[in-house]
Structure 1
Amino acid sequence: MLNRVFYKYKELILYGFFGVLTVIVNIISFKLLLILNIPLLYANTVAFFIAVLFAYYTNTKYVFNDKFTKKNFISFISMRISTLFIDNMGLYYLVSISVDELIAKSIINIIIILINYICSKFIIFKKK
């Protein structure tokens, strides 16, 4: 029974698993950059791109079982860059109202994961 549930929801489970790993990559990168005294929004932007590269690799290879193509890569990066605005503005807002920066980063990442899954599933890695 557990196997049936896994196979029925395999894509969603794998997306969630790699989404959590992507958030961890993002947060660790972010924190390390802050330790290096990189300004908040610069650290967030660099951490974001590190996490996006990790996410592209894992989404393509493990979640959606697709080929690494220039078109997919450009679409994926473009979509993720569009969520960078949400990431930076949300982080800036939450920190400005005294939410701890790591808690703020985690909250924003949950929202972005949902947006990214919808775009990845139905636009970038859409089955033909």
Structure 2
Amino acid sequence: MIKLFKQYYRVISYLFFGVLTTVINIGVFAALQLLTAWNYQVETVIAWFLSVLFAYITNKLWVFSSHTTGLKAFFTEMSSFFFFRLLSLVMELVIMWIGVSLLKQNAIVVKVVDNVVVIVANYVFSKVFIFRKR
């Protein structure tokens, strides 16, 4: 069991922190839905920003164990992370627009569905482009 955990540590920890990131994303979105009269896309961006900040910290420290040295390397890595997360934000906004505006579905249900797509895309971006072994 321990051998399997060590072998799949990166995927397991990504899924664990991905679930927490998703909870933050959907939780903030749902809270804004209940507490404000803002447009769902504004709420999506706010929820995205807070969850991406959490995701960067957890991915850097525990999922990919990235140890950058110096400010330049840190900002390069962080910029890369946020750039690829911006791509997933665009995916998220498109999915939300299709689900809520075109298909007239419940915004929170669409948000849950869009997070499944985004989690997979973000793992690929992180593994291949951001925290790759140099």
TM-score band, normalised by shorter chain: over 0.9
Amino acid at match of 1:81: L
List, as ranges, runs of 4+ consecutive aligned residues in structure 1 with deviation greater than 3 Å.
none
- SS, match of residue 76 in structure 1: helix
- Structure 2: 5+ residue stretches without partners: 69-73
The CA deviation string for residues 73-123 of structure 1, in whole angstroms up to 9 with x for no partner, is 000001101111110110111123132211111111111111110110111
Q: TM-score, normalised by structure 1?
A: 0.94
For 1:13 and 1:72, locate their aligned partners in 2 and report how far apart those are by CA, in whole Å: 22
Identity of aligned residues (%): 31
Matched with 1:60 is 60
- Structure 1: 5+ residue stretches without partners: none
Residues 1:113 and 2:119 aligned together: yes
Matched with 1:39 is 39
2:88 to 69, 83, 90: 83
For 1:38 and 1:47, locate their aligned partners in 2 and report how far apart those are by CA, in whole Å: 13
The CA deviation string for residues 42-99 of structure 1, in whole angstroms up to 9 with x for no partner, is 0011111111100000000110001351111000001101111110110111123132
1:71 to 71, 76, 80: 76
Matched with 2:23 is 24
Please report the RMSD computed on the Cα atoms of aligned residues, expressed in angstroms: 1.1
Q: TM-score, normalised by structure 2?
A: 0.90
- SS, match of residue 67 in structure 1: coil
The CA deviation string for residues 14-57 of structure 1, in whole angstroms up to 9 with x for no partner, is 00000010000001111121222221110011111111100000
For 1:3 and 1:37, locate their aligned partners in 2 and report how far apart those are by CA, in whole Å: 49
Range that drifts further, 75-84 or 91-100: 91-100
Matched with 2:97 is 92
